[in-house]
């Protein structure tokens, strides 16, 4: 024993889950507000639940069954066709949506783009964004006496997107792009969930609204791609994708395929990374001892910063904090599939057409899988503690062949930003706890209100 006082137990905000069965109308009402409210309390204690709302559905929390759905029989459990139909106007037949051969060649072409050496080459953009974010936090503190950390993190990851995917802010109308992305996300979020749940088509959906608005971002991306044709090659995500080819067929992306995939990266990667960071900052604000430990590590590695890719091997604990934040608040808290063929999961029959809900939020707080599941404790991700855990009990990035292609990118970006901020600022709560509310992603409703004190 080193005489350090025991760290108090920290239980951050959680979703008020359903304790009684819900009617169809209640399900619709709750799903609109916060889809996690339809996850029954039993989902945190049972390996699998089955029911009928409109179609037959199963909620799967059993790691072996998740492995079967996401890896062993991935072809038999495609993404929900209705969700895909609605996302298609925004991100086309991109990697995110495509299935079968069209998915495979795009994935083969794009995979090397996210290789570690390319991420290292992209990392100076992340370092610069981290540095600017630390400065903006100071400005907001000076102007308002507090910071809204979710908006701050959206601004930080937006900087990265602009630089790596949209040719840099200098050539862009930054507020217009930022607005277009916001609207894009808002409408993508609204359309998908009712459809995942196979709620009847008479329930009004804002899909037409989505089609109209989503036109904003596509021409912009088209213009960026067209302008690139006459420019010298640079090493950013757009150029890496521009020259990417399927090693098997030699096929390259058409300008439309390139556009749809770049937009898919923005939809899938921008807000999710900001959310991981915003929740991590809240958790650290309510747990000063953990924050101090993460700061000591960051300061030892980077001094007053900013953090660079070369520092990453020395930022293990900062990484653990992010992993634990994504366990408690997985940005993609709810995945869905549809069964194409008959199967058995947890000994129960699965029929073609059944809806498979994969509530990652419940998996990550499951009583049979995690000790004291609702408590914040980054020690769970210490290398020794994580060893021996079922690979499919922790799925912030999914798993199997369709695992998030941007995982390495997101983790690098988040670590560089978090380490840089911790080296400069001490965060304390500056408002009420945020409420976890899921539309398409798990957002902090009410914002993440903090105060930032300079580190001297």
What's the CA angle centered on 273, arms 269 and 276, to 5 degrees?
145
When asked if residue 359 is in the footprint of ligand HEM (CB under 6 A), the reply is no
31, 86, 90, 95: which one binds ligand HEM (CB under 6 A): 95
276, 321, 355, 418: which one binds ligand HEM (CB under 6 A): 276
**CB under 8 Å to 214, separation ≥6 — which residues?**
89, 90, 184, 187, 188
Q: Can you read off the two tokens belonging to residue 206?
A: 């804002």
Q: Which stretch binds ligand HEM (CB under 6 A): 21-29, 146-154, 341-349, 390-398?
A: 390-398
DSSP string, 192-241: HHHHHTT--TTS--THHHHHHHGGGHHHHHHHHHHHHTTS---SSHHHHH
Closest distance to ligand HEM from the beta carbon of 358 (Å): 8
Terminal C-alpha separation, the chain: 30
What's the CA gap between 352 and 77, in Å, rounded? 10
| Dihedral over alpha carbons 308, 313, 319, 323 (to 10 degrees) | 130
Burial of 435 (0-12, 13-18, 19+ CB in 10 A): middle
When asked if residue 78 is in the footprint of ligand HEM (CB under 6 A), the reply is no
Closest distance to ligand HEM from the beta carbon of 244 (Å): 13
Residues 118-147 contacting ligand HEM, CB under 6 A: none
149, 268, 328, 333: which one binds ligand HEM (CB under 6 A): 268
What's the CA gap between 272 and 266, in Å, rounded? 10
Range list of H helices, 198-350? 207-213, 217-228, 237-242, 255-285, 288-302, 316-328
Closest distance to ligand HEM from the beta carbon of 450 (Å): 20
185, 264, 294, 333: which one binds ligand HEM (CB under 6 A): 264
- Nearest CA to 36 among 432, 279, 363? 363
Closest distance to ligand HEM from the beta carbon of 9 (Å): 26
The CA–CA distances, whole Å, from 405 to 15, 95, 189 equal 28, 9, 21
Pick the closer one to ligand HEM by CB: 330 or 430: 330
Q: How many residues in the shown chain lie near ligand HEM by CB under 6 A?
A: 23
Q: Which stretch binds ligand HEM (CB under 6 A): 61-69, 172-180, 270-278, 365-373?
A: 270-278
Q: Which stretch binds ligand HEM (CB under 6 A): 182-190, 215-223, 331-339, 424-432?
A: 331-339
Q: Can you read off the two tokens belonging to residue 163?
A: 């630089």
When asked if residue 331 is in the footprint of ligand HEM (CB under 6 A), the reply is yes
When asked if residue 405 is in the footprint of ligand HEM (CB under 6 A), the reply is yes
Q: Which stretch binds ligand HEM (CB under 6 A): 33-41, 119-127, 394-402, 420-428?
A: 394-402
Phi, psi of 174 (to 5 degrees): -55, -50
86, 238, 315, 335: which one binds ligand HEM (CB under 6 A): 335
When asked if residue 273 is in the footprint of ligand HEM (CB under 6 A), the reply is yes
What's the CA gap between 5 and 35, in Å, rounded? 39
Closest distance to ligand HEM from the beta carbon of 8 (Å): 28
Residue ranges binding ligand HEM (CB under 6 A): 79, 95-96, 107, 264-265, 268-269, 272-273, 276, 331-332, 335, 396-398, 402, 404-406, 409-410
């Amino acid at each position: 024993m080193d005489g350090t006082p025991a760290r108090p137990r920290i239980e951050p905000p959680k979703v008020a889950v359903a304790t009684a069965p819900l009617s169809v109308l209640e399900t619709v009402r709750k799903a609109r507000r916060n889809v996690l409210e339809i996850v029954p309390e039993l989902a945190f204690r049972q390996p699998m639940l089955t029911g009928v709302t409109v179609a037959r559905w199963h909620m799967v929390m059993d790691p072996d069954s998740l492995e079967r759905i996401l890896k062993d029989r991935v072809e038999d459990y495609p993404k929900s066709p209705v969700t895909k139909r609605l996302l298609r106007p925004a991100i086309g037949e991109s990697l995110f949506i495509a299935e079968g051969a069209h998915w495979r060649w795009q994935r083969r072409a794009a995979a090397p783009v996210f290789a570690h050496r390319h991420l290292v080459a992209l990392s100076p953009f992340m370092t610069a964004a981290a540095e600017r974010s630390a400065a903006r936090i100071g400005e907001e503190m000076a102007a308002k006496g507090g910071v809204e950390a979710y908006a701050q993190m959206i601004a930080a990851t937006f900087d990265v997107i602009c630089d790596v995917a949209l040719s840099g802010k200098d050539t862009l109308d930054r507020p217009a792009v930022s607005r277009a992305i916001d609207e894009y996300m808002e409408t993508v979020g609204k359309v998908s969930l009712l459809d995942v749940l196979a709620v009847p088509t008479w329930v009004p959906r804002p899909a037409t609204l989505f089609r109209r608005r989503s036109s904003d971002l596509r021409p912009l991306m088209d213009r960026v791609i067209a302008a690139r044709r006459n420019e010298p090659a640079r090493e950013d995500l757009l150029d890496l994708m521009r020259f990417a080819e399927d090693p098997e067929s030699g096929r390259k992306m058409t300008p439309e395929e390139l556009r749809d995939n770049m937009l898919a990266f923005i939809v899938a990667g921008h807000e999710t990374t900001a959310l991981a960071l915003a929740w991590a900052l809240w958790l650290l604000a309510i747990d000063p001892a953990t924050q101090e430990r993460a700061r000591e590590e960051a300061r030892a590695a980077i001094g007053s910063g900013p953090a660079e890719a070369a520092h990453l091997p020395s930022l293990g604990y900062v990484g653990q904090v992010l992993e634990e934040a994504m366990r408690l608040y997985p940005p993609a808290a709810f995945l869905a599939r549809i069964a194409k063929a008959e199967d058995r999961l947890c000994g129960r029959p699965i029929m073609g057409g059944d809806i498979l809900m994969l509530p990652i939020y419940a998996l990550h707080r499951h009583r049979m899988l995690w000790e004291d599941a609702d408590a914040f404790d980054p020690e769970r991700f210490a290398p020794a503690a994580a060893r021996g855990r079922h690979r499919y009990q922790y799925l912030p990035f999914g798993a199997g062949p369709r695992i998030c292609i941007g995982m390495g990118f997101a983790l690098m970006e988040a670590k560089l930003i978090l380490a840089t901020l911790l080296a400069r600022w001490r965060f304390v709560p500056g408002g009420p706890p945020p409420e976890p509310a899921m539309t398409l992603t798990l957002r902090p409703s009410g914002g993440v209100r903090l105060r930032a004190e300079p580190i001297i």
